[in-house]
Amino acid sequence: MMKAGIGILASALLLLLSGGCGGKGANAISDSIADNSYVGDWKQDLSAHAYAMADSILATLTLEEKAAQMMMPALFSSDDIYTLKAVGDYGRKGIGGLVLLKGISTSAKLISDSLARASAVMPFISIDAEWGLGMRLSDEPSYPLNSDIGKDATERDMFVYGAAVARQCRRIGINMVLGPVVDVAGRDSFMGRRSYGDDPVRVSDLAVAYARGLESEGVMSVAKHFPGHGSAKGDSHKFTPVIERSLHQMDSVDLYPFKKYIESGLSAVMVGHLAVPAIDPDMRPAAVSYTVISELLQRELGFKGLVLTDALTMGGAEGAGADKALEAGADIILAPEKTDREIKRIVKAVEEGRISEERLNASVRKILFYKSLLTLRR
């Protein structure tokens, strides 16, 4: 079911992405939705002011509040009293944001508004929208699965698509999309329907264009699942899959779309619960691997944006605590099983000297910088 007022837009995009229209008709639809140019310079134009805002806020936070800024617990998009009480508690504790799970848009809007009112620092409100908000919110539009995007879909089409989804997100208070999926995978792989395909160039072209569309409308994108889930033979929701590719294969296939995303100056990368022996011989899950995050993603590939873990409630994250993720180089902890426990783990690690407060400050400053950018972008 589609909400009134966006049905025509959703229908037009469905045609555009599935290859149901082309030529002048497709261009007319694109032109009516968004301009094709990526308004990327706004980040650079606002950076100095955003860093000043971030430093000002950082100076006011306690150690516990800094650790809390790293947390983004998950909640169903419901308006029951227990959910709303949890939202109020999160706001008072200074939690950095939320991951919205299944529900409806009115409840999602109530949650996002309630958390914003209860929080001293603007929260991130995120959602999986890999094929539109309908992936999680039953009364919002769904678009073709990534694997079903038409062969004739262009980067322009994907930019338009991302911009339209961003506008739908902003209407209900969502400022971060946990996508695009940049995993390179064939239809017969576990990631098949969530992937744009088995051609790393096409995957990167479509995914980066979609992400640029999101960010042109002031919604953060998050490329996932680093360093590449496409060849995994299992589900990281249940256990930690082992990626058996060689370093050469990883570099030419799996890492290729991430490199293009990074080169485009986009905002965030999610690290998966994957063991990749070609990169980390100790086979630590990527989300808590210093080799994967600090050495490969940040140092070698030069990524300066936000690094998110995949959900810590997943089976592949067993034994992976927030302190280990912070040590590895992560900035945001998604869906911790027990948020208070993970905050305490970080605080304890800093108090015991296992993690310096300067290291924690670096992540929190980055979080606050991107929040300040979003605030200034409004």
Is residue 254 part of the annotated active site? The answer reads no
Distance CA 217, CA 163 (A): 6
Relative orientation angle of helices 255-263 and 200-216, to the nearest 10 degrees: 30
Sheet of strand 97-103, all strands in order from the earlier edge strand to the far edge = 74-77, 97-103, 124-127, 176-177, 220-226, 268-271, 306-309
Could you tell me how many residues make up the chain? 378
Asked whether the beta carbons of 149 and 196 are under 8 A apart, the reply is yes
SS3 222: strand
Residue (of 116, 191, 178) closest to 147 by Cα position: 191
Relative orientation angle of helices 339-351 and 357-377, to the nearest 10 degrees: 130
What the block records as the tokens of 343 is 């905050």
Does the N-terminal peptide bond of residue 229 adopt cis geometry, omega within 30 degrees of 0?
no
Beta-bridged to residue 181, according to DSSP, are: 224
Catalytic residue (choose from 157, 254, 310, 331): 310
Is residue 225 part of the annotated active site? The answer reads no
User: Which residue type sits at 326?
Assistant: L
φ, ψ of residue 223 to 5 degrees: the values are -75, 140
Consecutive H or E run containing 114: helix 105-118
Catalytic residue (choose from 237, 251, 254, 273): 237
Residue (of 310, 313, 307, 304) closest to 327 by Cα position: 307
Distance CA 77, CA 336 (A): 17
The catalytic residue positions are 237, 310
